[in-house]
Amino acid sequence: MASEIEPPAPSNAIARFLRLIRFSHTIFALPFALGALLVAANGRPSVRTLLLVLACMILARTAAMLFNRLSDWSLDQKNPRTANRHRLLDQPAGWALLAISAIGFLIVSAAINETTGLLAPVALVIIFFYSLTKRFTSATHFFLGFALAVAPAGAWIAQTGRLDLPPLILGAGVVCWVAGFDLIYATQDVDFDRREGVRSLVVRLGVAQSLRLAQWLHFFMFLALIAFGFIARLGTIYYAAMPLVAAALFYEHRSARKLDLAGINRAFFQSNAFVSAIFIAAVAVDRWR
């Protein structure tokens, strides 16, 4: 299976950096953190808490993506799909920005409340650890899901100072959702991963079985969203939005079955961004009405 090659690096330094960390993909995890925050605050978090949670999300994701790029620096140069990444930023600058974003995350977390300050180093370990898992386990997709599931849990703790059942249910859904779409995305690199000895379930199970597993994972994600609505006592508006989530997931899997790489990339971004947007819109409208 051929892989889509990244376009040449832009001339603007900020644009290169944003492409390196795939800043546009922040839209995937951020709505689930904000949704948890809105539920925990009954729709009205303070401006201070909201801004601090947003800052934590951006800093944590930036640090995680930089660590991922730096840990895979030599491997990415061998993969035609990612061969241009090393031209976006040099390694010394990458390590410096990683340190700044990680320290910034720790400082901002400590400014929220005592619990978030104490748990911030644990959160960093979790989100960094994912980047190393492909070297020793095929379950790397689930570690990525777990890393993103930290977001709703952290946002809930930021508001309440404790961890309750609703963010755990939502986090389980995020794990299934992310693992499922990462399996689809990983089909692009199956030949390269086999050749280089990179571990993934796509290599272990094959493309067809991996896509079936992704379908089941997204089914469980959908059930988790329903359960979250029940546990969090969300209303009719939230449940009315769930068919739209199901439709977006169906579109993503239909595109994946065609094994069209351009279609996979398009469906990957559009479908998952739509799922996130529908979720946060449904929670916000339900809590603000």
Domains recognised in the chain with CATH numbers: 13-288 (1.10.357.140)
pLDDT at position 3 over 50: no
pLDDT band of residue 1 (cuts 50, 70, 90) is: very low
Average pLDDT, whole number, for the chain?
86
pLDDT band of residue 69 (cuts 50, 70, 90) is: confident
- Structure tokens that stand for 180 in this block: 């499922």
pLDDT band of residue 83 (cuts 50, 70, 90) is: low
pLDDT, tens digit, 9 for 90 and up, residues 205-255 = 888 898 899 999 999 999 999 999 999 999 999 999 999 999 989 888 877
pTM as predicted: 0.87
**50-71: string of b/e by CB count within 10 Å (b at 16+)?**
bebbbbbbbbbbbbbbbbbbbb
Look at residue 203 in the predicted model and tell me its pLDDT: 87
pLDDT band of residue 4 (cuts 50, 70, 90) is: very low
pLDDT at position 89 over 80: no
Look at residue 230 in the predicted model and tell me its pLDDT: 96
Instruction: Find the length of the chain.
Output: 289
What is the C-alpha separation between 177 and 165, in angstroms, rounded? 18
pLDDT, tens digit, 9 for 90 and up, residues 129-168 = 998 998 889 999 999 999 999 999 999 999 999 999 999 9
Look at residue 110 in the predicted model and tell me its pLDDT: 97
Look at residue 114 in the predicted model and tell me its pLDDT: 95
